[in-house]
Amino acid sequence: MDRNAIRKVSPLNEFFMKDSPMGEGQGSGSPVMLKVVQCALFEGHPFRLFEGKRLVDFANDIKVNGVMQPITVRPKKGQYVEADDARLQVYEILIGHNRWNGSKVSGLEEIPAYIREGLSDAEANLFVVNSNLMQRSPAEMLPSELAKAYKMQLDAYKVTGKNKALLAEIQEASIPCGADDEESRAGLLPRGRIRDKVSNDTGIDRETIRQYIRLNYLVGDLLKMVDDGKISRNPAVSLSYLKEDEQYAVRATLSLKGFKIDAAKAEMLRSYSDAGTLTNDRICAVLSGAAKKSGRPAAVKVSPKVISKFFTQEQKQAEIDEIVGKALQQWFAENGRA
């Protein structure tokens, strides 16, 4: 018998494995039996595997009943493993990481698998992310898992061009609130057209998706605090706009001083960062509660009556702003407050 040949799953096993979730194995023919050592974790896999008692229980069930539902894999180009005096192709797991890991722990040597040929990296990313999002509740996932998953999904849709309506919705949702950068929004749907597709498909609203994508800009230490429940999502999003060194300074202050952070403090830190005035002392003042006001000046309104007294309707806002600025500068200079 050729040890390099892939063994087909028997008709009886195939009967028990027919209830695979939508998308698994479609278009890939009958499942085959692969050596467990031939299978490898998907590179960049964003989801946690079972561990502890859950893994032990799952492995025991596999030991008794076998793997009833095939995993899905793709060939890992140019990679082989030596097993049973044979050189075998290595396959990257797309769907079924826990089944594979449970099989390893249970001591099984083989696992049923659907093989998907010719997938691009972007298409493989969609396999991994979409299957997990369909099979698992967001409540089961850490914020960091959802952040990486939605980012992988977004990037994959950009490359593949698939599901353009969903891409436009997620991409628009990833733009910071209030941003109006035409270059970054080129090709997107008009801002006023809000679709419900993401919410209907995943149960996650567009603003929440935007927030999760923003979490990818947090440094690892702060992202772990979000996973641990020490920082909630809203303040975490504000912190994601801080420069990397500023984020590390915030993390160090939180750790050393035992301060807590809420949305108001995080937004205050962001305002100082935007103004280029976020120092270590200011970070400490904000997090301790000593700083009560943001670094942004309060909005000033001038009544139309005053405006019409000095300006005509034909004058543009930029011209008015310039004249007002010069007048204020002269006034403060004359009154000793320049």
- For the chain, the domains span 7-119, 120-217, 229-299, 304-333
Angle among Cα 70, 73, 78 to the nearest 5 degrees reads: 145
Q: Is 111 helix (H, G, I), strand (E, B) or coil?
A: strand
Question: What pLDDT, on a 0 to 100 scale, did the predictor assign at position 142?
Answer: 93
Other Cβ atoms within 10 Å of 36 Cβ, number: 17
Across 111-125, average pLDDT: 90
Other Cβ atoms within 10 Å of 164 Cβ, number: 13
Lookup result for tokens 């229980």: 57
Question: What pLDDT, on a 0 to 100 scale, did the predictor assign at position 176?
Answer: 37
Question: What pLDDT, on a 0 to 100 scale, did the predictor assign at position 200?
Answer: 41
Question: What pLDDT, on a 0 to 100 scale, did the predictor assign at position 6?
Answer: 61
Question: What pLDDT, on a 0 to 100 scale, did the predictor assign at position 293?
Answer: 54
Under a CB-based contact definition with an 8 Å cutoff, are residues 40 and 91 in contact?
yes
Distance CA 290, CA 326 (A): 35
Question: What pLDDT, on a 0 to 100 scale, did the predictor assign at position 95?
Answer: 92
Q: What is the pLDDT of residues 45-60, one digit of tens each?
A: 889 899 999 999 999 9
Q: What is the pLDDT of residues 150-162, one digit of tens each?
A: 888 888 877 776 6
Question: What pLDDT, on a 0 to 100 scale, did the predictor assign at position 194?
Answer: 28
The fold for domain 7-119 equals 3.90.1530
First to last CA, the chain: 92
pLDDT grade for 140, boundaries at 50, 70 and 90: confident
**In the predicted model, is pLDDT for residue 118 greater than 70?**
yes
Sheet holding 110-115, edge to edge: 7-8, 32-35, 110-115, 71-83, 86-95, 39-40
